[in-house]
Amino acid sequence: MEETRLPPGQYVPRGLPVIHYGRVPAFRPESWDLKVFGATASGEEHAFGWEEFTGLPRTVRVADFHCVTKFSVPGLEWGGVPPSALVAAAPPDPGVRHVMIWAEYGYSANLRWSDFTAPTTLFATELGDKPLTAEHGAPLRLVVPHLYGWKSVKWVRAIEYLLEDRRGFWEERGYHNVADPWREQRYSYQEEPGDGPP
């Protein structure tokens, strides 16, 4: 029997649920790009085309996935580009401490630099050895498995380097700025000084 340790309050559902706000965007490789803007080292915005982005160094990572709605999916295998590879190609200003991850249609999530560059965080293009499906975030999603799922932004289109923290879509709507499932950081009223911007 396989034993999985889950964060408090979580259960394992059948399969991998699909959950997001709004519609599933279409992918057009010719016009798709990934922008890196804000506090870059050069002060210039970077833009990666699809070929260029998928040519960056790749890796595979296995991790459990935890949604704040209380499901946890054990042992998902993601393939893609580690943030370290993107950061090397688009260096930040030395003062950068946070990032905002931007998706199609304006969805966003903020992360501390340490969570963005954590060894488990990945820009995923594959799930379980297959290209991501549209509903799971194709062509590109971030996976931040050590935080609640809303930080794992699907349909990523831009990374904004931030000198100061700013709240993303759900963080502005009552969800916790940090979102550590092991500490059950679900809601913003649980935040302690230092967890987030005012």
* Cβ(73)–Cβ(16) below 8 Å: yes
Say which amino acid occupies 45.
E
Our CB check for ligand MTE shows the closer of 40 and 72 to be 72
Q: Is 12 one of the binding residues for ligand MTE (CB under 6 A)?
A: no
CA distances from 39 to 25, 111, 121, 171 (A): 28, 15, 21, 21
Q: Is 155 one of the binding residues for ligand MTE (CB under 6 A)?
A: yes
Interactions with Mo ion, residue window 90-149 (CB under 5 A): 149
Q: Is 125 one of the binding residues for ligand MTE (CB under 6 A)?
A: no
Closest Cα to residue 52, out of 140, 143, 153, 121? 140
CB of 102 to Mo ion, least distance (A): 18
Closest Cα to residue 152, out of 88, 68, 86, 39? 68
Q: Is 107 one of the binding residues for ligand MTE (CB under 6 A)?
A: yes
The sign of the CA dihedral 166, 157, 179, 19 is positive
Which residue number has the CB closest to ligand MTE? Answer: 149
CB of 140 to ligand MTE, least distance (A): 11
CB of 162 to Mo ion, least distance (A): 23
12 binds, among ligand MTE, Mo ion, none (CB under 5 to 8 A by kind): none
Helix, strand, coil percentages (3-state) for the chain, rounded to 5, are 15, 30, 50
CB of 1 to ligand MTE, least distance (A): 25
Our CB check for Mo ion shows the closer of 38 and 149 to be 149
What residues line the site for Mo ion (CB under 5 A)? 67, 149-150
